[in-house]
């Protein structure tokens, strides 16, 4: 996704000159051209430019390869298979695998800390014998 290119295309589609568009967004013409070269834009700038074009900022994003489902209080990103079918279960499986891996890594860290403490104790015991 290249938001700057999409913005340039939309301005051209509406037959607005870059000079006129630059004035509408209160930017210089050279700066406006530099915006068109950017793959990502600052959110406030994107909103301002979209408002000038009477569009939603989300119109500049691809119809993502993965979908976004709105769930009353949160957004949940879900995967799609090769046929474009949303696979929520696959995401849940990946999440469960990741949580298991996190649990395993926490256990390793905890064991490592215990091992280091024992090593320190052993060093102290050996140092006191000398």
CATH number of 3-60: 1.10.260.40
The pTM (predicted TM-score) of the whole model is 0.47
Q: What does the block give as tokens for 64?
A: 């993502």
For the chain, the domains span: 3-60, 67-129
* Coil/strand/helix, residue 60: helix
- Reported in sequence order, the residue ranges of 6-101 that DSSP labels E, i.e. its strands, are 67-71, 74-80, 86-87
Do residues 53 and 21 lie in contact, with contact meaning Cβ atoms separated by under 8 Å? no
**CA-CA-CA-CA torsion sign (31, 32, 37, 38):** positive
- What pLDDT tens digit does each residue of the chain (130 aa) get? 588 888 999 999 999 999 999 999 999 999 999 989 988 888 888 889 999 999 888 887 765 434 444 444 445 455 555 555 555 655 677 777 788 889 888 888 888 888 888 999 999 999 987 5
Rg (CA), the chain: 27
9: tokens are: 């295309």
């Amino acid at each position: 996704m290249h938001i700057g290119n999409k913005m340039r295309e939309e301005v051209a589609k509406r037959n607005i000159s870059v000079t006129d568009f630059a004035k509408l967004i209160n930017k210089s013409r050279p700066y406006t051209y530099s915006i068109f070269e950017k793959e990502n834009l600052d959110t406030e700038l994107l909103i301002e430019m979209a408002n000038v074009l009477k569009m939603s900022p989300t119109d500049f994003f691809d119809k993502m390869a993965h979908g976004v489902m709105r769930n009353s209080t949160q957004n949940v990103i879900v995967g799609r298979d090769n046929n474009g079918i949303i696979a929520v279960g696959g995401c849940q499986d990946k999440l469960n695998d990741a949580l298991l891996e996190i649990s395993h890594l926490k256990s390793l860290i905890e064991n490592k800390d215990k091992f280091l403490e024992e090593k320190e104790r052993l060093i102290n015991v050996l140092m006191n014998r000398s």
